[in-house]
A and B are shown apart, each in its own frame.
Chain A
Amino acid sequence: MDIYLPIAEVSVNAPLLIALGAAVGFISGLFGIGGGFLMTPILVFLGIPPAVAVASEANHVAASSTSSVISYTRRRAVDFRMGGVLAAGGAAGSFLGVEVFRWLRLLGQADLVVSLSYLVFLGVIGGLMLTESLGAILRRRRGEPPKPRRDRRPPWLYGLPFKVRFPRSRLYISVLPPIALGVFVGILSAIMGVGGGFVLVPAMVYLLRMPAGVVVGTSLFQIIITTSLTSVLQAGRNQTVDVVLATMLLAGGVLGAQFGARASMRFRAEELRALLALIVLVVGLKMGLDLFIRPADPFVLVSGAG
């Protein structure tokens, strides 16, 4: 059953999109990520113009994150104060990112920057997470005690001004690092069509040293705010949000996210991280390596204002 999308101006298979939405939603609930980094490349592969895929995906991520964040709230696993600080940075980042994306489209370099961002960010983060989580799994298999967690946090976190207490995260740190992190994730959200959970979760664990229990819920909370804003900005500035596409994705997505959030309680944290790392790495390499393959046709039509 094909359906013609009014903004993307292509015809797609509706049940396939709903199923994809559900599958990515499940992954989203399972790992506490938006799932945009998976969905955007899939949409582009299905022939949806990249600009529309990026913008509509932000909308889908907002929906599936809302669906799973509520169950995290019930478990008191969201640090709203930290989420708010991150989101303030994220808002600034989205504004910047939407303008940068507009400019890149005019230069005809949007595709390059998107592919390179996937290769660099997903490659590096996937690689680091995989090494770390495989190490943890191996140590547990051998019966060794888990590596003692270094409680010494990096000194630069404490040397900065504007310190704020985050009781839920048991932190007393400067607001500058979370704001900077938020800005960075906001830019990625607009350029790559992702929520940014794959950057936020490791950054919260390894840089901010937040307790593992609140990381996922807080990341989802900040993602909802950033992607909602990105979605409105993309619609207003670039007119690239396809509401029919987003609705089909989120119909499957919100259900998948619920099952994913339940399933996540059955796995060990390091196993989940290893699996996520593997997915992240494969997507990053696939997107990035295409840059190095000789194109079938040296010429390409580029989108953007004529």
Chain B
Amino acid sequence: MAVPMDQPPAAISAALTETNVRVTSSFRGARIVIYGAVFNPDTQPADVVVLVRGPQEPVRIARKTRVAGMWINSRPVVFEGAPGFYRAASTRPLRDIAPFGVLRRLGAGVDHLPINAPEEQRIETRYGVRDVVVSRLGADYGQWRQAVVRLKANARLYAEDERGVRFVDRGLFRAEVDLPTAAPIGEYRADIFLFQDGRPVASRSRTLTVEKAGLERTLYLFARERPWLYGLASVAVALLAGWAASVVFRRT
């Protein structure tokens, strides 16, 4: 496609309705709205893809196998690179927007997340080829990796919404992302891409903070920073409550 020199390139701008989600005792999840505008000078059809990623933490996963009639966990395997929360919203199915390689590079779609199990890997020479990455999980590796995504999706932490971005007016788009109560605390990052001809031509990044607030935060920090004192305090509450109840009941 030949773009005349005087024409400005395609661009995208975006913002979040909320950049700070406060988790208090009444927290029941939150809805984040991502909205923005596409400046598309030529008539090329454009697609918008929104990727929201939560803080990363290693995932420990085990497989149940049957031993003496009982279903028992195998040795847990640690997978890294799995975000604590993931949403991919787009105007069309991702595979129609861009080819495999582009999606993989951007981590667009649950199948393209860079999840792997580094502790299980070793590098060796096979058939004279050096630096071959071999996983101890062997041929089942793909199943393990898919299970990570499936379990996270069941907990409503991972999802793909192929109609999640809607154009509400010419050049004006909107996407909704629901955070469940199980969404992890921390820094989230929203990447908004404009695709043309299977390539990302413009992008924007926005951050979102999910943090505990109020009493929740006080108790959480107390439990983290002074665990022994917290333990003593919680036992004191328990014993006092038990004693108080019996005193009240003796009078009545």
Interface residues of A (CB under 8 A from B): 2-4, 6-7, 9-11, 59-60, 62-71, 107-109, 111-112, 224, 228, 231-237, 239, 241, 243-244, 246-247, 250-251, 254-255, 257-258, 291-295, 297-304, 306
Task: Report the nearest A residue to B238, measured CB to CB.
Answer: A63
Q: A71-B246, A301-B60, A303-B60 are in contact. Are A233 and B231 (CB under 8 A)?
A: yes
Q: Knowing that A62-B238, A231-B235 are A-B contacts, what are 19 other residue pairs whose CB atoms are under 8 Å apart, sorted by A's residue number?
A: A2-B28, A3-B26, A4-B181, A6-B25, A9-B185, A62-B242, A66-B242, A71-B250, A241-B223, A250-B238, A254-B246, A255-B245, A292-B70, A297-B150, A300-B62, A300-B64, A301-B61, A304-B76, A306-B78
- Residues B241 and A250 in contact, CB atoms below 8 Å apart: yes
Interface residues of B (CB under 8 A from A): 23-28, 57-65, 69-76, 78, 144, 147-148, 150-151, 154, 181-182, 185, 212, 215-217, 219-220, 223-224, 227-228, 230-235, 237-239, 241-247, 249-250
The listed residue with most B CB atoms (<10 A of its CB), out of A2, A65, A67, A295, is A67
The smallest C-beta distance from B172 to any residue of chain A, in angstroms, reads 34
Residues of chain A contacted by B24 (CB below 8 angstroms): 4
10 A-B pairs with least C-beta separation? A66-B242, A235-B231, A254-B245, A299-B147, A232-B231, A108-B76, A63-B238, A306-B58, A70-B246, A67-B242
- Residues B223 and A251 in contact, CB atoms below 8 Å apart: no
Residues of chain B contacted by A236 (CB below 8 angstroms): 227-228, 231
Q: B62's contact among A66, A292, A302, A306, by CB below 8 Å, is which?
A: A302
Q: B25's contact among A4, A112, A231, A239, by CB below 8 Å, is which?
A: A4
Give A231 to B242 CA distance when docked, in angstroms.
15
Tell me if B's interface is mostly helix, strand, loop or mixed: helix
Q: A108's contact among B73, B224, B234, by CB below 8 Å, is which?
A: B73
- Residues A4 and B234 in contact, CB atoms below 8 Å apart: no
Residues of chain A contacted by B215 (CB below 8 angstroms): 6
- Residues A254 and B59 in contact, CB atoms below 8 Å apart: no
The smallest C-beta distance from A257 to any residue of chain B, in angstroms, reads 7
Residues of chain B contacted by A295 (CB below 8 angstroms): 64, 71
Q: B231's contact among A11, A241, A293, A300, by CB below 8 Å, is which?
A: A241
Residues of chain B contacted by A244 (CB below 8 angstroms): 25, 219
Task: Report the nearest A residue to B80, measured CB to CB.
Answer: A306
Task: Report the nearest B residue to A108, measured CB to CB.
Answer: B76
Give A68 to B243 CA distance when docked, in angstroms.
9
- Residues A299 and B245 in contact, CB atoms below 8 Å apart: no
Q: A301's contact among B59, B69, B71, by CB below 8 Å, is which?
A: B59
- Residues B242 and A64 in contact, CB atoms below 8 Å apart: yes
Give A291 to B70 CA distance when docked, in angstroms.
5
- Residues B223 and A258 in contact, CB atoms below 8 Å apart: no
- Residues B234 and A246 in contact, CB atoms below 8 Å apart: yes
Give A164 to B62 CA distance when docked, in angstroms.
50
- Residues A297 and B27 in contact, CB atoms below 8 Å apart: no
Residues of chain A contacted by B71 (CB below 8 angstroms): 291-295
Task: Report the nearest B residue to A305, measured CB to CB.
Answer: B60
